[in-house]
Amino acid sequence: MKKAKYIIMGCILILSLPSCKKFLDVNTDPDSPNNQSVLIQNRVPWIEHFYQYTSGVTNYRTSCLAGVYYTNSATPNTLSTTWQCSSANSTTPYQTFFVEVSSNIVDLYNSAQKQGAYHYMAIADVFHALGYMEMLDLYGEMPYTEAGTGNPSPSPDDGKTIYNGCMAKLNEAINLFGKTQETGAPAISAGDLWNGGDINKWIRLCWGLKARYMLKLSKKADLYNADSILYCLSKGPQSNAENTVGPGFNNSTVTDYLLGDPVVTNGNFDYAAYGSTNRISQFHYNLLTNLRGAGVVDPRMTKIVPASMANVQLDASGRVSSFVWNRSKGVDSYNPQDQTAPLTLTNRLAVGGATTVATASYAAADTKITYSFTTAKNANDQPNFIAAQAAAGRIYTVSGTSVTVTYKAGSLYINNPSYVLAGDTAFVNLRSSALATSGIPAQPATDVNWYPSAAAYTAGVVGSTGSFQVRPVSDQEILTYHEMCFIKAEVYMRKNEIGNAYTAYRAGIQAHLDMMQAKLTQWKSSGYAATNPDMAPMDQTAINTYLASNAVAQGTVTMQDIMLQKYIAMGCSIENWNDMRRFNFSAGNVGSFGVIYPGYQRGPLFTGQAQLIGGTPADPRYWIRRWALPPVYEIQYNSIHTLNLNHHAGDLSIWSMPIWWDCATDDEYYGYLTK
């Protein structure tokens, strides 16, 4: 992912104009369409694409925050490791939504209304709800009713107003989808990449979104309504066939005008797996290998946790003749770690630093690196290092406090003389390759493995197999049946209907396994598994064994069981962070449900005291509960209105202030804004 460009004036115009091109509307030229002349069916796929891009960066960064991923990239590392939250995280979702989505849905709605194209009006409403609810989830307050009205300095709205507005848009969308379009209005199949023009799927998407959004109110005794959520679920997706997903492709090198990323790929890939900065976290890894303390490996693990090649032997022609797969370990940001203990994978960050996990390079020829232990943090580090080289079968020499290691041609290694980094090949990055990003012209579209260099590709040495949700050809999950099942399970648990909760819980696990298996089967038939075994179907026997094991609740269920399986299934999604906020992370103080996310806690590298001002886990302000507004757009250029609504919008501690739906009462919420 390339660094976002700050288009300050562009966003100011977006907030003040119904369209980013309105001010260019001088004459109508059929060869240069403007916001008045562009066909509505041509606008929809681009809105779908750019929403996926906005949600991609949001999903990725909130997944770092929720413990799905670790990153060594300095800005999002503040969300994954130090919790010293940085406003540099805040701009891109805001920018891409307003520049590329919000302005276009205003024009889509207005143009469709003139044509009696009710289904396109409904689609505009759906994207309004999707986008503004996501902005509410992130920022809490922002311009809403005055956004896109022509006001150059729009006043922000509170979270309650934004929430109710989004729900009203979904209700209108359901009504509009039920209407017959006027004669001559184009069918939505002409421009719909997500659902192929299937009105039933769009309607079920609306009901499913209503259920998702109503669940956010679980802390509000006066607004939470279990039976209303169950009613919405009954009208939402009833099977995987009714999922709404954005398809990802690897058939083009065209890149986006704003950020330079591929336009056809999965939006999650564009951030989580475009570059080499991201890894599976230990928290996530543990759920896939030891859920419920069962010591059972989830069959989804090898499809989610990437692998690289190790112990490579090259033949006379320089091609791989033998190897083993090195399945990634998780990077541990949370558990207590001893900086002075001998270096291990467990205390790697404590010894090396928050952003120091290094990316592997490829040894095209035998390569020697000399490591110095003169300033080793522990006397056992050098003998332990030597033992590790011997166990790996590497050639090494020792001279006092120096150890020189030879990495044979074909090896993946860390090209750095720090012994602390030498073992980082254990942490395989999530990177995948697309035609537009690989930099290796010979790499075909059906090979989305990451190779560290052209020489590695020529030799056939894979640096990463990637991860299920974040490959360029992965589907971007907008709303799925498995999410609906887990919502149902939670609602029944809150109603104390344990049997129904258990049935829905098992259905959610099965639905996610089935969805993954269908995609893996498709990938295999398309040729991807020929070079990447992690893109082949799971073993059915392994699935059956897992479902019958103690890793899955048998006969009864707890809220922790439900939410941890939902966490695995949702993966790269903002909904995991949303759920964590509703359950106060690992505080264990919501109802009688106990700790929902055990092991999620401030780690040894925590430095976010100024942002997270709560003193104990039971204090709401102990946790990351929102993002700061973009400092330029809303704090600098619109500060009067922004600070008038939320007196603390510019404070460092804004990151720990609960948003509207995260508060039990309106008094609590408005108290945060004004005190």
**608 assigned to some structural domain:** no
Element (H, E) at 349: helix 348-352
Cα dist from 139 to 136, 152, 632, whole Å: 5, 20, 14
Q: Of 248-262, 383-397, 553-567, 649-663, which gets the smallest average pLDDT?
A: 248-262
What token pair was written down for 492?
């029944």
Q: Decide which of 463 and 10 is more confident.
A: 463
What the block records as the tokens of 365 is 């020829």
Return the beta strands (E) in 60-161 as ranges: 69-71, 142-143, 156-157
Same domain, 231 and 379: no
SS3 386: helix
Percent of the chain with pLDDT over 90: 88
SS3 state of residue 231: helix
Q: What percent of the chain has pLDDT over 70?
A: 95
User: What tens digit of pLDDT does each residue of 67-98 get?
Assistant: 999 999 999 999 999 999 999 999 999 999 99
Of 236, 249, 238, nearest to 475 by C-alpha is: 249
Banded model confidence at residue 357, pLDDT cuts 50, 70, 90: very high
Q: Is the dihedral of CA 584, 586, 592, 593 positive or negative?
A: positive
| 40 and 175 fall within a common domain | yes
Alpha-carbon 542 to chain mean position: 27
pLDDT over 70 at 303, yes or no: yes
CATH at 103: 1.25.40.390
User: Which one of 423, 457, 491 terminates a domain?
Assistant: 457
Residue 609, CA distances (Å) to 28, 82, 351, 355, 628 in order = 56, 10, 21, 19, 15
Answer whether residue 233 is part of any domain.
Answer: yes
Residue ranges making up the domain that contains 401: 306-457
Separation in Å, CA 497 to CA 215, 418, 482, 491: 17, 56, 19, 9
pLDDT of the residue at 103: 86
pLDDT of residue 32: 61
* Domain end call among 429, 457, 485: 457
**Is residue 621 situated within a structural domain?**
no
* CA 241/CA 637 separation, integer angstroms: 46
At how many degrees (to 10) do helices 199-215 and 226-235 cross? 160
* Pair 94, 228 in one domain: yes
SS3 170: helix
* Dihedral of the alpha carbons of 498, 499, 504, 505, in degrees to the nearest 10: 60
Question: Is residue 519 in some structural domain?
Answer: no
Residue 6: the pLDDT is: 34
Closest CA to 551 of 616, 506, 517: 506
Q: What is the mean pLDDT of residues 332-355?
A: 93
Residues 439 and 343 occupy one common structural domain: yes
359-412 pLDDT, tens digit each: 999 999 999 999 999 999 899 999 999 999 999 999 999 999 999 999 999 999
* Residue 637 resides in a domain: no
Phi, psi of 578, rounded to the nearest 5 degrees:
-60, -45
pLDDT value of residue 31: 58
Domains of the chain: total: 2
Q: What is the mean pLDDT of residues 193-201?
A: 97
Confidence grade of residue 35 (pLDDT, cut at 50, 70, 90): low
**CA atoms within 13 Å, Cβ hemisphere of 487:** 34
What is the gyration radius of the CA atoms in the chain, in angstroms? 25
**pLDDT-derived band of residue 33, with 50, 70 and 90 as boundaries?**
low
Between CA 314 and CA 319 the distance in angstroms is 5
- Looking at the structure, tell me whether residues 155 and 14 fall in a common domain: yes
The CA distance from 631 to 640, in Å, is: 13
Higher pLDDT, 99 or 61: 61
What is the distance between the alpha carbons of residues 128 and 166, in angstroms, rounded to a whole number? 7
DSSP secondary structure string for all residues of 392-457: HT-EEEEETTEEEEEE-TT-EE--SS-TTTGGGGGS-------TTT---TT--TT---B-SSHHHH
Paired tokens of 312 = 């490579």
CA-to-CA distance for 299 and 268, rounded, in angstroms?
22
The confidence score (pLDDT) of residue 191 equals 87
Q: Which of 437, 457, 477 is the last residue of a domain?
A: 457
Same domain, 157 and 44: yes
- Are the CB atoms for 318 and 458 separated by under 8 Å? yes
Q: What is the dihedral of CA 292, 515, 69, 657, to 10 degrees?
A: -90
Q: What is the mean pLDDT of residues 129-148?
A: 95
Is there a contact between 290 and 475 (Cβ–Cβ < 8 Å)?
no
Whether residue 192 sits in one domain with residue 68? yes
Note the pLDDT of residue 635: 80
Residue 466: band (very low, low, confident or very high) from pLDDT cuts 50, 70, 90:
very high
The answer, yes or no, to whether residue 18 has pLDDT greater than 60, is: no
Residue 169 lies in a domain: yes
Which stretch of 289-293, 334-338, 668-672 has the lowest confidence by average pLDDT? 334-338
Give me the mean pLDDT over the 186-213 stretch. 97
Helices and strands, number each (H, E), in the chain: 22, 13
**Mean pLDDT taken over the chain:** 93
pTM as predicted: 0.94
Contact by Cβ (8 Å): 583, 597: yes
427 part of a folded domain: yes
Under 8 Å between Cβ of 154 and 104: no
Once rounded to an integer, what is the mean pLDDT over residues 92-111?
A: 92
Q: How many CB atoms lie within 10 A of CB 221?
A: 9
Strands (E), 48-206: 69-71, 142-143, 156-157
With beta carbons less than 8 A apart as the criterion, state whether 139 and 119 touch: no
End-to-end CA distance of the chain: 39
The answer to whether position 611 is within a domain reads no
- Evaluated on CA atoms 561, 566, 569, 571, the torsion sign reads negative
Across the range 196-222, mean pLDDT stands at 98
Residues 317 and 211 in one domain: no
Element (H, E) at 244: strand 244-246
Task: Say whether both 41 and 190 belong to one domain.
Answer: yes
